[in-house]
Chains A and B, each alone.
Chain A
């Protein structure tokens, strides 16, 4: 931070600065408006809004819609479904992509550029490019006794696999860049001392990658929690759905009560918001890690 910038903060109030603040505050409010509107709708009873219209002063504000949406739609159950998918998917993605990154960043085999290219390009493809054959493949794979459905289709395992396969591209790319910036002497010394490759990865390189892993872990958690498409196509039984696609079904059932839908949508968003506010720094650095290196 150069000192000139720091002293700027101390300058007396300037009209341009006031204008800028007015603009930013107005824009920020406008940005929050849809969410505030959803919140306002969700806190009002349906009977009142249908009688007085939606743009009206409230007689009664309460969290009843939230508790109703949560209990009536069995939201807790879907939330558990999401956890069953997201937790293993995040952990396995980090584990596998860090191994690939270790390989391409520490061992100069001829393959490594091609490998990284394949991974990164795979992550950039639109999901719909692969969905038709993937859907058929999931229907073909029989896993009697392993999944509830007896197939890869309509199972948490199937969703975990596609999340891992799809997301490991981005993570391998970011982690490889990160590992390249670690000094080579670290592992070279270990190699001379006769440490095994696994030990180098597990005890030397991986602990040094903690910041990058934390950032990616945050990002992955939010992405996988927010996933709607994979679950929509690859899960058919309502019982097995993660929370975002379950929400889609709920709105069909409660189509007549927008207030309840608003509450349901906001409840779904709460975990992501908590993760974001607690791990804001990690989330943002994860997003920008992939975008600009160094």
Chain B
């Protein structure tokens, strides 16, 4: 074993990191010495190449978003970057008429998703978990929207909501002048119209996650519960639901992330016009819209990043803690 050449491979492998002296089996120290130098280089490349790609395109750009948020830049040449401190944020919070509505809509998006499709998905999962007939058919129907592209979902629901030719207005006769209901253009209505489409998709997603969670519930728990004379609802409330805790955590995180990521559906539906602004739409409009203000767009992205990290970090820390204990 000669000393390291160029590749920075953690040589400390032979020394187990402190605090991991748990039940997990490790390769005995002797085996580390069986790695030839070529093996070490191979390992370095195997981990290094994907990491560099991921970090460069995802994390470096995320950090660049933070840095650029404090500057103005026209995108032509690096010497035109100017430090402006908190000016972008000031302008965003105080002068942008779309910012607070957008933030509010993201919050509404999450609240609606967690309040309606999530319990509905859980309810469907519990019913379909009973091994009833046609279970597969029902599952497929509810799950179909999850497979479709958000863009396609946007087009399909446009056909439902179109004020002149759409299903709803044609059925209720609201496509006549005087009784006209503009589901897509009316800022008081369009967010709710889109949320129905978003909920339509989210229900199936939640149903699948809960079905997987329910498969992990020990059948003997149910038996014990019914032997004790508990009815279906009592069994669910006191026995099944508490065991679904890990699934509930995942569901909560997934729903928050979905609410922050919502973009395609709204963009296809009405380009994020008045009434349906979202943070993601504001960021994107800053790139493909009329005015491309890099620093300003980055400032909106930073707000989005901070909200995301508040959710992502605690979730991952708790997940990985469990991993270590396992």
Contact with B along A238-275 (1 / 0, CB 8 A): 00000011011001000000100110111011001100
Given contacts A103-B47, A292-B247, contact A283 B147 (CB under 8 A): yes
The distance in angstroms between the C-alpha atoms of A122 and B62, with both chains bound, is 9
Q: Restricting to B51-70, which residues have a CB under 8 Å from any CB of A?
A: 51, 53-62, 64-65, 68
Which B residues touch A247, using CB under 8 A? 151-152, 155
Partner of A124, one of B257, B267, B301: B257
Check A137 for interface membership: any CB of B closer than 8 A.
yes
Which A residues touch B55, using CB under 8 A? 118, 122
Stretch in B91-99, B107-115, B165-173 with 4+ CB within 8 Å of A: B165-173
Which A residues touch B150, using CB under 8 A? 226, 228
Check B287 for interface membership: any CB of A closer than 8 A.
yes
Contact with A along B283-314 (1 / 0, CB 8 A): 11011100000100110011011001000110
Q: Is there contact, CB below 8 Å, between A110 and B61? A: no
A163 smallest CB distance to B (angstroms): 10
Contact with B along A34-57 (1 / 0, CB 8 A): 110110010000000100011100
Q: Is there contact, CB below 8 Å, between B50 and A100? A: yes
Q: Is there contact, CB below 8 Å, between B141 and A137? A: no
- Give the interface SS of chain A, mostly helix, strand, loop or mixed: helix
Which A residues touch B279, using CB under 8 A? 128
Among B35, B42, B213, which residue has the most Cβ atoms of chain A within 10 A? Answer: B42
Please give me the residue from chain A that is nearest to B171 by CB atom: A55
Check A225 for interface membership: any CB of B closer than 8 A.
yes
Chain B interface residue number, banded: 35 or more
Among B38, B64, B149, B247, which residue has the most Cβ atoms of chain A within 10 A? Answer: B149
Q: Is there contact, CB below 8 Å, between B10 and A110? A: yes
Partner of B53, one of A31, A53, A96: A96
Which A residues touch B219, using CB under 8 A? 1-2, 4-5
A109 smallest CB distance to B (angstroms): 5
Which A residues touch B257, using CB under 8 A? 124, 126
Stretch in B124-132, B177-185, B186-194, B233-241 with 4+ CB within 8 Å of A: B124-132
Q: Restricting to A119-135, which residues have a CB under 8 Å from any CB of B?
A: 119-122, 124-135
Q: Is there contact, CB below 8 Å, between A34 and B301? A: no
Given contacts A97-B50, A129-B308, contact A197 B43 (CB under 8 A): yes
Which B residues touch A27, using CB under 8 A? 124, 138, 142
Q: Which residues of A contact B (CB under 8 A)?
A: 1-2, 4-6, 8-9, 17, 20-21, 24-25, 27-29, 31-32, 34-35, 37-38, 41, 49, 53-55, 96-97, 99-100, 102-104, 106-111, 113, 115-122, 124-137, 139, 161-162, 164-166, 168-169, 172, 184, 188, 191-192, 194, 196-198, 201, 222, 225-229, 232-233, 244-245, 247-248, 251, 258, 261-262, 264-266, 268-269, 272-273, 276, 280, 283-284, 287-288, 291-292, 294
